[in-house]
A and B are shown apart, each in its own frame.
Chain A
C-alpha cells in the first residue's frame, strides 16, 4: 500500500508540474460551464413559456437540468480520458524510466494501481469543478441531492473503466500520440456502440449495445443504483488493470 502511494504521489505531481492538469481542468470547467448555462437557459425559457400559457407543466430540476447535464459530462469525459492516460506508461517506456520502476523492490500491481489511482484522482478533480455549478441549483432551487450523488458515482465508475483501458493501451507503445489516439478511438467506439440498439433488436445488437458505456451510465444519471451497471463498470476496471499487468509482464519477456 505504501508503494502504491509513492507511485500515486509521483504521478499526480507530474500531472501538476506540467501544464497538463491545469489545461484539462480549465478546459473541462469552460466546456461544462457552457453546457450548464445552455441547459439552464433552456429550462428557464420553457418554464416561463409554460407559465405564460398558463399550463401547470410539471417542471423538475432533477429531471430537466441535472440528468441531461450528467450525461453530457460523461461524453465530455470521453474526450479528456485519452489525454490523462496517454503518458502513463508510454512516457516511461520512451525515457527508459520503466527500467527503474521495474527493477525496484515494488510489485507490478503496485505500479499499475498507483498510476490508475492517480489518473482517477485527476478525473475526480475535473468532476469536482463541475460540482461548483450545481451549488447554484441548490441555492436557487431545491433539487434532490441523492440522484446527483449517484450520478457522480456513475461518472467516476465510467471514468475508472475508461482510464483502465487507456492505461492498458499506453503500455503498448512508446509514443504518447499513438496511445492517446488509440484510446480516443476505443472510447468513442464504446460510446457509439449503443446506437445499434436503436434500430436492431437481434441478439448481437443487444450484446453490442450492452458493451457500450453509455447504456450503463443512463441509470446512474436517473439516480438509480443498478447492480447490473455497477458490475459492468467494475468488470471493465478489472479487465483493464489485468491486461495492463499482463502487458507489463510481456514487456519483460520481450524487450
Chain B
C-alpha cells in the first residue's frame, strides 16, 4: 500500500514521491515547496484535526487532509 502525506505521523519526515492532485492544486503545492523529491516534515495537527501543518524547504505549509491524501510519500532514510 502506498503511503500518503496525511498518514505521516507528526514529527516524522518523508520524501514526496508523486503528487496526484489536479494540475492547479499541484502547481500551488509546488510553488510553496511541496515538490516531488523534496523532504517534508509533519509538524503539527490543528485542534480540529484538519488541516495539518507541514514543513518543506524551511517553510510551514498547511494542507487539508483531502489534498494530503493525494500526495504519495516515501518514509525512511533512503529517499
A and B from one complex:
no
- B residues contacting A by CB (< 8 A) are none
